[in-house]
Amino acid sequence: MRVLLVAFLAGLLGLANAVGQQSGAVEKKGQTATTKLEHPVSGHLTELNGKYKLRVSEVIYEPGGYIGEHHHAGPGIRMVTEGELTYIEAGKTTIYKPGDYFYESGDMSHTVYNKTNAPVRLVNFEILPADWNGGSAIPIPMTSH
């Protein structure tokens, strides 16, 4: 079972290393993220020790705020603590409310909006490469047709 867990996490996190730390900016308005805790992975899963870190961030979307199409360097769990978050992924729109949790694999592009007149606050729990610096949102490259 331990081998399966390690393989699963390594597969999810392989994307982060393949993508690299890109310098492009994701379009956003009225959105701020503050890192609250960051710690290198250590413990019984020795295969992961020192290779990855866990990060917890608080994200606030002001009324009318948004973040444009993007994906993340690694997977994570999100928890809405205040307001109503409009989340669009793969053409599907979901409204998350306080107390709702959801999972982001990191490799799926999505867009987030606050379409209300009150702030939206959520907590992001994510796994990142140990040497990752800066935000975890990666812009979707524009392609020409």
Q: pLDDT value at position 140? A: 74
CA 134 – CA 98 distance, rounded (Å): 27
Instruction: Work out the pLDDT band at 16, boundaries 50, 70, 90.
Output: very low
Mean pLDDT over 52-77 rounds to 96
Residue 33 main-chain phi, psi, to 5 deg: -130, 135
| DSSP string for residues in 22-68 | --PPPPEEEEEEEEEEEEE--SS-TTTTTTEEEEEEEEEEEEEEEEE
Mean pLDDT of the chain: 85
pLDDT in tens, 86-111: 999 999 999 999 999 999 999 999 99
Q: pLDDT value at position 141? A: 64
Q: pLDDT value at position 25? A: 84
DSSP code at position 141: P
Instruction: Work out the pLDDT band at 2, boundaries 50, 70, 90.
Output: low
Instruction: Work out the pLDDT band at 26, boundaries 50, 70, 90.
Output: confident
Q: Tell me the domains of the chain and their CATH numbers.
A: 2-139 (2.60.120.10)
Instruction: Work out the pLDDT band at 130, boundaries 50, 70, 90.
Output: very high
What Rg value do the Cα atoms of the chain yield, rounded? 16
